[in-house]
Each structure stands twice: as structure tokens, then as C-alpha cells.
Chain A
Amino acid sequence: MMHLKKIIGKVHFRARLDFDEALALYQQADFHLLGQLAHGVRLQKHPEPLVSYVVDRNINYSNVCICGCRFCAFYRPPGHPEAYVLTREDLVRKIEETISLGGTQILMQGGHHPDLPLAFYEDMLRFIKSRFRIHIHAFSPPEIVHFAKLEETDPAEVISRLRRAGLDSIPGGGAEILVDEVRDSVSPNKCSAQAWLQVMEEAHRQGLRTTATMMFGHEEEPGHRIAHLLALRDLQDRTGGFTAFIPWPFQPTNTAIPRSPETPVAYLRLLAVSRIVLDNFDNIQASWVTMGPKVAQLALHFGANDFGSTMIEENVVAAAGVHFRLSVSEIRRLIRYAGFQARQRTMAYEWVGDTEMGGHGDGETRR
């Protein structure tokens, strides 16, 4: 058994934890201690009492997918009566709404559609950029790998073409757990861990910033979660291209993995360990979409310094039966009551609007 005291000492001195140390801390440290250590790391990285959030919308251009991941409640196979590809009219309306609500970006992702060529996505990006001034955060690594396969080219070429068409950054989705023995079971048709990491490395090399996620609580072991964190940390050492890490628990309703969802205590422990282990990541996001506003608020004391997105629209978690809704003013209130000032940011973590007030009117902290 690892000596916990020694590991805690390393965290205090900001020394990097190796796999065994990280796993021992994750499995053995007391709940409050993990929170306090993670919050200490967070305060050292961000001494100002600020919590950021982004105003954006998830646009799912299509739910048609040939991947068939067992954890997914969103996709429909080709030809299914509920299968869709978004029309240009819908796309325009969704973006106009986003901008009218103060949004700065759209997060665009979809299923692995078997027939749409890369030119479809290039056209979509050009179309959006020709009509709107908005940041396009789109196409997770598995989509890019899928596009490359269809186009019989490599991901580097796909990234380059998408970038030229207007892609601004890449979301960290599809990471699930970056360990192939887990992926082989839960998402056998999706790109490998190595391929996911290579897409991100290439994107960073081409100057695109990206985020990174982890979906935990399905069939992986605790050690797989730590291995995932270390794989991200290694890549970040090489590129520095990740802006943020976002872990969230798998939501099992309507999926092919029957189990109970991870509970808040498990979520906060994982979040805290992520903050401690990912010493080269600037930002850790809380996931109110899966955990609800009350737990997400507490996450701000367990390592998270970002409240994520306002999610004007969200479909993937909703398909798994989880429906939380938060307005900008409610997000700001939750942040204030947690003891921080709320600031709207962009994907690149630059402040939006009046830096004092964030441009959304700020009341006094309640009571």
C-alpha cells in the first residue's frame, strides 16, 4: 500500500504524481481531503476568485451513426424513422438564436454518417462562416477519423481541409476511456485510444486548440481512469494544446449498458483527482448537464474552475433521460453563491464583454 502521506506531501509541493501514486490517492484519500487538495491546486493555478462559463449551443448535425456504441442513447442507424440530418434552415435558425442569446460559439458534433462526404462538412463550415461571426468548435476526433476513412485520406488532411473551411477548434468528445480494452467492449467500432490522441496531437500541431473529456462509470476499472488522465497529460506535455478537461459520468438510461449511474461522491472524487493529476491543464470544467446544478456548484470546490456551457441546446445527455436546464443568470448566481465571480469566456478562455460584470448584470450575493 502506497504511503498516502508521502503522496499528499507531493501534491502540496506541486510535484507530479505517477500512476501508482495517483491511483493510491484516488482510492484511499478521504473525500474532504481530496476536495481540499484539488481546490488548493485550482487556487494556485487561478488565484483570482473567478469561475468562467461559455454561452454556446450544442448543434447535432445528424444522429445517423454506424458506430453503435453501447453507451449511446442518441444515435439512430441509417434508415431509422427517427434518423435526421439537419437542414440549412434549421442550422441558420439555431445559430441566430445562439447569437441573440449572447452566444460566442457553437459546438457541432454528430454521428458517423456513412454517406456524407467531407465536402458536406466543408460546405457547412463555409456556409456558417459566410453568414455569421461565430466560433465553430466542432467534430470530435472519432468523427475526424471517420471522415478520413470515408475520404480515403489521413486525419491530418481532414483537419487541414476543415480548418481551411472555417473550423476554429475541436471538442474533446469521443475520448470515453482512452484504454483500448475498454473501448473494444463499449465502443468497438469507434477509433482507438491512440487514434484519438493522434488527432488531437495533429490538431494542436496545426494550431487548433482542443478540449479533452472522459466518460467514466461504464465498464472501466479505476486504473483505466488514471491511465486516461496520464495519456492526456503526456500529450499536453508535448503540445500544450488542450484548453480544458471535462469528466462526466456515463448516463445509462436508454443505452445498452445496464447499470446505475455514478453517484455525486464518485463524481467529485474523480474530478478532484483529475485536477491534481492534470498539472499541465489550465482548466477543469464542472458538468452540470449530467450532475445537476447543486452538485456542479460543489464541484467548484473540488477542482473545477469552469462551469462549462450554458447549453442552449443539448441532445445527447437528454437522450439518456437526464434533463437539467440552466439560464445564464442562474449559472451566474450559482457561481456567486459558491464564493466566486462569474465571467463569460470564449473557447480559448478569453473574457467576453465587460470584465467587471461579464455583461449580464450582476446582483449582490444572496444573504
Chain B
Amino acid sequence: MFDYRFYQDLDLGDIYRKVQAGRRLDLEDGLKLFSCQDIVAIGAMAHKVRTHLHGDVAYYVMNQHINYSNICVNGCRFCAFGKQQGDPLAFELSLQAILEKVRARGNAPLTEVHIVGGCHPELRLSFFEGLLRELKAQHPSIIIKAFTAVEIDHFARNEDISTRDVLVRLKAAGLDMLPGGGAEIFSPRVRALLCPEKTAGEDWLKIACEAHQLGIRTNATMLYGHIETIEERLEHLVALRELQDETGGFLCFIPLPFQTANSGLTGIEPTTGIEDLKTMAVSRLMLDNVPHVKAYWIMLTVKLAQLALLFGADDFDGTVIEEKIGRMAGAESGQALTRSDLERIIREGGFEPVERNSFFERVHES
């Protein structure tokens, strides 16, 4: 829509040509995009790529989030969700309680449950295997997207087996897909300061790679807007892109703005709307081999998520019943959007709403 000359005036002529030709952007290009003040110009470029990939479709999913426990041995500085065992606010759900939550949705046509929790010191792998088997038995058509690479790593330590073996066992029990959480920012510098106990960036990538090799698709996230530099954001994107070249296993990338309100980090200002949209757009432009980019409305706010569809995102996530992690961090969005809300917001943004399942396959109304 905007032409070469327009971008040349912004010193983005070369980048525009690369994007036009479908050539890969390098880290320097990413820095240039981030430093450009014209957010509409960057958004238009990302929108072009997004439209080339997905037309005027914007996806959503009918899903339920379940956080099985907030008890966590990791103590990441940025987390408002994790609690130590014995903390009065600590909780853990029994198998029955989890099953009841899914059952309680009654006739809601869920296609996905998204299950994640803290790195619980005592819950055994057999508990999770049992959970997956029960869920599959009771809801054979629901796709189970569960356990971040960080939880997989934790289970392996607890059981004293390899992460690959954990994945094999969970897959056999019914695990369909891994969500993309726990990636944060891969930079060892940032992780040493923010989450020294957590799975290292390279291990996160290794576990994602193992999952892909076992035929388990995964998503990938990036938590930005805390102490990381722009270079570290771009290195994160490039690391994902490199692994994706090898495996092709990532389905969707999800940039998550850090929620400052209730975290243990002080002196950090929340991300602004322009920063969120710029990060969305640059992610779309850098990740040329990842099919989908998600506007996760729980963290972005519904308003900004709608705009994000014009800045590179093609997915609006879902109805997300009962999400706790972003909520406890101070994210202000409501707990759930109904299907008609989601469809209206997408349509008013100028897009055709399409219900998908976890694998981004269209769900046809029966």
C-alpha cells in the first residue's frame, strides 16, 4: 500500500524491498524497525505480510485455561502467580477438581483445554499422565494443550528421567500440544537476573525441539517490557526462527507484554500501546517461518488486541475461561469473552472471524 519511496524516506527502503521479495530480515533490520517512530508505517508492512499469509481472516478458539497449581519452586522475580508451598494463597487442584472444571463448561463447544501450572515440588508425572488419560476418556474431541517446556524440564528433574522421556510418556497419555510459555527472554543475562532457577533459554529451545521431533507441535512466547534490551528481544526472535528452520514445529508466536502491577520487580513502567504494537509488527516481520502471531487479549487488553490484528497478528486467542497468571499479575481484561463478543470485535476490525482448533484447523459448525 505504501510504496518504496515512502519507506525510503523513513530509511526503511531496503527492508521494504526485502519484505516485498520475501527475503529474511536480519537483526540489524529489526533494530531499524524498532527505532522507527512511524508506527503506522511499520504496522502497514507487517499487515501486508499477515494479509499475504492469512487474507482477511482472524482466528479465535473456544478454549478453557486451567491452572492446576500455583505452587512453584522457581520464584521468578516477575511472577505474581507462583507461591511457595504452605503460603496461605497457595492452591493445588485435585484430579477431580480439574475434571469438574471442564465438565462445568457443560455444553460449551470447547475444542481446547490449556493446562499449565507452577513447578510443583511433589506432584508426580503419574498424576499428570492420569489427568491426561481421564480428560481424553471423558472428552475425546477436546485437544489438550498442556505443560510449558519449563514444566517438562521440572518433571524430568523430579522423576530423574530425560525431558524426552517425559514428553514420550505425556504424549502416550494424551498430550496433543505444548503451549509456548516459559520462554520469557532467552538471554542468559536477563534470566540470571529475573529467573535464575528457571530452565535456561537453550534448554527451553532443546525441549521444544524434542517435542517437535516427537510430532508434538508447540507455540512460543516472548515476555517483553521488563529489563531486556531491544537486541535481546530480537535475539529471542532469531533463536526461534533458527529452530523453526530445523523443525517447523512452532505453530504460533505470542508476544506478551510484562504486567508490572503485582510483580516482584519495581521501577519498571508498563509497556505502552505503541510499544506493544511495534513488538507485534516486528515479530511478524522477523518470524518469516512461523505461520501465526497471536494477539493475546488477556495481556494486551481487548482494545489493543483488536488493533494488533492490523499490526501483524492473525489470531485473537479465545474465550479463555479462568486464566489466573496474567490476572494475578494485574492484567485488567475481563475473564472471558463470549463467542459473539469475539466475532463482533474481529468483524469491526475489518476481518472475518474464523473459529480454529489448537492446530489452526477451521472448526466447522456441526
A residues bordering B, Cβ < 8 Å?
30-33, 35-36, 39, 260, 262-266, 268, 291-298, 301-302, 333-334, 337-339, 366-367
Contacts and interface: CB of A to CB of B under 8 A. Distances in A.
B272 A291 contact: no
B306 A31 contact: no
B303 interface: yes
A295 B303 contact: yes
Contacts of A266: 348
Contact of B40 (A35, A260, A262, A291): A35
B336 to A, nearest CB: 16
Contacts of B41: 36
Contacts of B2: 32-33, 36
Contacts of A296: 273
A32 B40 contact: yes
A275 to B, nearest CB: 13
Nearest to A334: B272
B277 interface: yes
Given A31-B310, A32-B1, A260-B344, A295 B349 contact: no
B303 A297 contact: no
Give 6 nearest A-B pairs by CB, closest first.
A294-B273, A339-B37, A32-B44, A35-B40, A263-B348, A297-B273
Nearest to B349: A265
18 contacts: A30-B1, A31-B350, A32-B44, A35-B40, A36-B40, A36-B41, A39-B40, A263-B345, A264-B306, A293-B273, A294-B272, A294-B273, A294-B301, A295-B307, A301-B274, A333-B272, A339-B37, A367-B230
Interface in B42-68: 43-44, 47
Contacts of B239: none
Given A295-B273, A297-B274, A298-B274, A33 B1 contact: yes
B229 A367 contact: yes
Contacts of A31: 310, 350
Nearest to B43: A32
Contacts of A367: 229-230
B126 to A, nearest CB: 45
A265 B310 contact: yes
B288 to A, nearest CB: 20
Nearest to A337: B272
Nearest to B257: A294
Given A32-B40, A263-B345, A263-B349, A294 B304 contact: yes
A366 B272 CA distance: 10
Most buried by B among A31, A33, A333, A334: A31
B84 to A, nearest CB: 33
Most buried by A among B2, B273, B307: B273
A297 to B, nearest CB: 5
A337 B275 contact: yes
A366 B38 contact: no
A268 B350 CA distance: 13
Contacts of A297: 272-274
Given A260-B344, A367-B229, A32 B37 contact: no
Given A36-B44, A334-B272, A338-B274, 6 more contacts: A31-B310, A36-B41, A298-B274, A301-B274, A337-B275, A338-B39
A321 B325 CA distance: 25
Contacts of A333: 269, 272
Nearest to B273: A294
Contact of B310 (A32, A293, A338, A339): A32
Interface string B337-352: 0000100110011100
B284 to A, nearest CB: 14
Interface in B307-332: 307, 310
B276 interface: yes
A266 B350 CA distance: 9
Contacts of B269: 333, 366
A250 to B, nearest CB: 14
Contacts of A36: 2, 40-41, 44
B355 to A, nearest CB: 19
A6 B274 CA distance: 31
Given A260-B344, A297-B272, A292 B40 contact: no
Contacts of B39: 298, 301, 338
A301 B40 contact: yes
Nearest to B347: A263
A264 B297 CA distance: 14
B303 A264 contact: yes
B103 to A, nearest CB: 31
Nearest to A32: B44
A296 B304 CA distance: 10
A292 B276 CA distance: 14
A26 to B, nearest CB: 13
Contact of B307 (A39, A265, A366): A265
Nearest to A297: B273
B120 to A, nearest CB: 35
B303 A294 contact: yes
B132 to A, nearest CB: 38
Contacts of B277: 298
Contacts of A338: 39, 272, 274
B50 to A, nearest CB: 12
B349 A298 contact: no
A220 to B, nearest CB: 16
